[in-house]
Amino acid sequence: MRYRFNWEDTLFNDTAGLQAIPVREQLFYLNLQMSKPIDHTPLRSYLNTLAPLDDQEWHGLSEMLAIKPIDKKQLFLAAGKRCKTVGFILQGCFRWVKNHHGEERTFDFAIENEFVTNYYSIITQKVSEIDIIAVENSVVACVDADKLLKLFDSSMSWQKIGRHLAEYVACYSMERLVASYYETPRERYEKLMETTPELFLRIPQHILANYLGMTKETLSRLRNVISGGGGR
């Protein structure tokens, strides 16, 4: 499972109000509005793969969660703002966008059961240099980053979870750095097809092409060559 760390607080002006409503009631309310049932238990299940959490330890997090629906194309992370929120995607898909001299470049994606936050911004307290945009109508379980960091010190299980997440961030960042220097567009295409093939059904082709560093026409030809068993 991948981690995606880039969350911003600019669209969570109502987080305090949401936190005043029990998570179960938030989920019930959202279920009335969304076609797919929403359940925050995937977050607990995932955290339990890192370290077992008893009911009391889980309650320490669940009471801080705010369930946030995000519309397709909605900008929820703004470049120039400091990140204060950690999110876990319950439903939906997001893309990471960097605007360089007026040219937009998509360089990462996140889907269900992945985290999204700007870990670098949280730790350094510097502003984000990227935007994140919802590719689909989405739902995210959100928690205040400062409160989560304090929670990591509350028990041995939470300490293990915090350590595992930090270790993965370091490994993922190094992997991405090396790939940016040595992977060809075709290699990026093949890796994406191997690790997250569903993105090819969920992401518009022009965004995928932008992510892979090629034109839509080149992507279309590449897909035809690969699907037809063509060689390198």
Q: Provide the residue ranges of all domains of the chain, joining segments of one domain with +.
A: 15-155+165-178, 183-227
Residue written as token pair 């359940």: 39
CA distance 41 to 11: 24
Residue 82's SS3 state is strand
Q: Which CATH superfamily is domain 15-155+165-178 in?
A: Jelly Rolls (2.60.120.10)
DSSP calls for 109-142: EE-TT-EE--HHHHHH-PBPS-EEEESS-EEEEE
Spatial CB neighbours of 172, under 8 Å, sequence gap ≥ 6: 2, 3
On the question of pLDDT at 29 being above 70, the answer is: no
Which carries the bigger pLDDT value, residue 26 or residue 130?
Answer: 130
User: What pairs with residue 186 in β-bridges?
Assistant: none
pLDDT of residue 230: 55
pLDDT band at 70 (very low <50, low <70, confident <90, very high): very high
Query: Using an 8 Å Cβ cutoff, are 30 and 40 in contact?
Result: no
Pick from 97, 99, 98, 141: which is nearest to 116 by CA?
141
Region 133-162: what's the mean pLDDT? 95
Residue written as token pair 């093939």: 197
Pairing of strands 131-134, 115-116: unpaired
Residue written as token pair 């092409």: 209
Amino acid identity, residue 95?
R
pLDDT tens, 170-192? 998 898 888 888 888 888 888 88
Which carries the bigger pLDDT value, residue 12 or residue 96?
Answer: 96
Least confident of 10-14, 20-24, 29-33, 149-153: 10-14
